[in-house]
Amino acid sequence: MHPEEISKLADEIVFSFTNKHLTDLQSNVLKASCENMTYEDFAESFGYNVDYVRKDIGFQLWKLLSQALKEKVNKKNFRQALQRYQQNHRVLQTQEEQKRRDWGSAPDASLFFGRSWEIATLKQWIVQEKHRLVGIVGISGVGKTHLSVRLGKGGIGKTDLSVKLAKGIQDEFDYLIWRSLRNAPPFEQILLDLIKFLSNQRDNKLNKGIDAQLRQLLGYLQDNRCLLILDNVESILQADKQAGHYRQGYEEYGELFRQVGECSHNSCLLLTSREKPKNIQRFDKIKPVRFLELRGLDYLEGQKIFAEIGDFHADDDEWRTLIEFYDGNPLALELAAHHINEVFYGNISQFLAHGKQVFGDIRELLDWHFQRLSEHEQEIMYWLAINTEAVTLSELTADILSDDAKKQVTLTLQSLKSRIPLEISVIDKKPSFGLQPVLVEYMTNKLIENIYEEIKTSEISLLNKYALLKASAKSYERETQVRLIIKPLIQTLTNEFENQDNLIIQLNKILSKLKKEFYLKPGYVGGNIINLLCHLQVNLKGYDFSYLSIWQAYLQGINLHQVNFAYSSIAKSVFTQIFGSITPIVFSKDGENLAVGDSLGNVYVWKRLVVYNFCFVKYTMVG
């Protein structure tokens, strides 16, 4: 540091400690010391008595700095002491800033192309004009080709744009928090999450009533300049009804959006969605509310995606034709680039002549890519779709069935990343992997189609390899799996078998087959059958699941009286009754009763009703 910088830093430190600045003479002594000037030289140059400079000015200066820095400071070590303070101060400042930034599961947006006009417009709305609610929404769906409609306004890059924008303007805000609504979390959960973060974890509970809760949040938005980002808002909107209407049970989100847009505060709520929520459409351009319809990349921006993948050959007209054919959709362009690079060796002219008619739809592009994936890569794609949220390497490995695939997860992910655009984020300092919503939809539909065929024909493969529902997942993730996988599958099967009774008969036939072919075999098929039966509201009394793997069965609230789980593996399944780790275990002499004590101080007794079949009878431990 230069003498002027050192003097300024020392003055700031002393002022924060004493509320007084350094004197001019103290400052000059400090600067002279930086130049290795002795007290004698300083006294002679400035016309002071040397003892006065050494004993009064110098001594008091080092004493003051020692007290402020809480370490011994003298003429020899003051530089190192001030540098240590500066480094520590920067670390603490960084840590404090990190406490006010919560990126959740936001994906890495380092590879981001174009959108300069969109970023400039959004910055203008949020930073300069200080709009209270801003939305990034998908294109209107009336593009020149059928592709626009089939894409469902997905894959256009709304999420990446929100992250790129927020990274660039985060210093304008006291607090920043990014959250995804992809799994449609309950309103109270998101609201409490926001309030806890904005209160620095001091406010840990919600007030009673929606109005009081929103006042609670708005108070923080008024006291500080906050940027709240909610991604994938379309997940809380009705899919098959009139656009923009909220799903049942999610109407309170609409009230949040309305009040944030209407009430006076210093903050901004940034939404991304495939469509505008109905109740705030009317605010656009009237109140401090703005919506940006995100269209496709232009042909120059689209070319940058291709440049990251390989060498391509085309003239300007061919580039324009290709980019416009896919409406500038970043996901479609990336998939097309991999296909053209591998099949046509980068020759875009040949693709336009021979491949455009075959790969005009994103589903066809995805089919081609999926078919070329290895078995292990396909397995990871299915699991990323089932999990719906980004998962860590260890979580993904735990899901996978075969030992061989488990060992190769890291290598498989590296290979998959070069073929399919994965969303990579950092959660709790661990890299996490997920799929874009369009890819989740594609893989979910593919899973349902394959499972439907297996149940119809009783030929089981994927039904044992993948869990249709994860009992161990968070409640809102599990509800998403029910909504996106279980219910559509049951509806498709009910249509095939004409009614639910016939479907139940077919599932029971499969269950009988499992007893022969999947005897003590690891896998998810037993849990999947139970979950399907439970969602069909079948009474399980008398069912025999003995000698089967019952993985990821969600049995909370299910009556299991006289259900046989003898010798079953019930890994990761959830039951109504939860107890602590088992300590003692004792059988009665006649073998009819089994007593268990747990670490919580409870005693449980199972009475055998049929061979190896126990029902719960709980006794409270005395003494």
In this structure, what are the phi and psi dihedrals at residue 3, rounded to the nearest 5 degrees?
Answer: -55, -40
pLDDT digits 0-9 by tens, 557-593: 888 888 898 888 887 888 876 555 656 777 777 767 7
Q: Which of 112, 139, 530 is nearest to 329 (CA)?
A: 139
Sheet holding 391-392, edge to edge: 391-392, 430-435, 422-427
How is residue 127 annotated by DSSP?
Answer: I
Q: Are strands 175-180 and 226-231 parallel, antiparallel or unpaired?
A: parallel
11's CB contacts (< 8 A; 6+ apart) are 21, 22, 27
pLDDT band at 511 (very low <50, low <70, confident <90, very high): very high
pLDDT of the residue at 469: 96
Q: pTM of the prediction?
A: 0.75
Once rounded to an integer, what is the mean pLDDT over residues 479-508?
A: 96
d(CA 539, CA 543): 9
Q: Which of 345, 343, 310, 306 is nearest to 322 (CA)?
A: 306
Beta strands in 279-387 (DSSP E): 289-293
Taking a C-beta distance cutoff of 8 angstroms, is the pair 50, 43 a contact? yes
pLDDT of the residue at 148: 32
Once rounded to an integer, what is the mean pLDDT over residues 330-341?
A: 91
pLDDT band at 614 (very low <50, low <70, confident <90, very high): very low
d(CA 452, CA 444): 12
pLDDT of the residue at 531: 97
Does residue 364 register a pLDDT over 70?
A: yes
Once rounded to an integer, what is the mean pLDDT over residues 168-174?
A: 93
Q: Which CA distances in Å does 316 have to 300, 303, 323?
A: 9, 10, 11
Q: What is the mean pLDDT of the chain?
A: 87
Once rounded to an integer, what is the mean pLDDT over residues 296-323?
A: 92
Does residue 232 register a pLDDT over 90?
A: yes
Residue 120: Cβ within 10 Å count: 10
128-137, 267-276, 426-435: which range is least confident on average? 426-435
pLDDT of the residue at 579: 54
Once rounded to an integer, what is the mean pLDDT over residues 111-118?
A: 84
Taking a C-beta distance cutoff of 8 angstroms, is the pair 398, 450 a contact? no
Does residue 272 register a pLDDT over 90?
A: yes
pLDDT of the residue at 497: 95
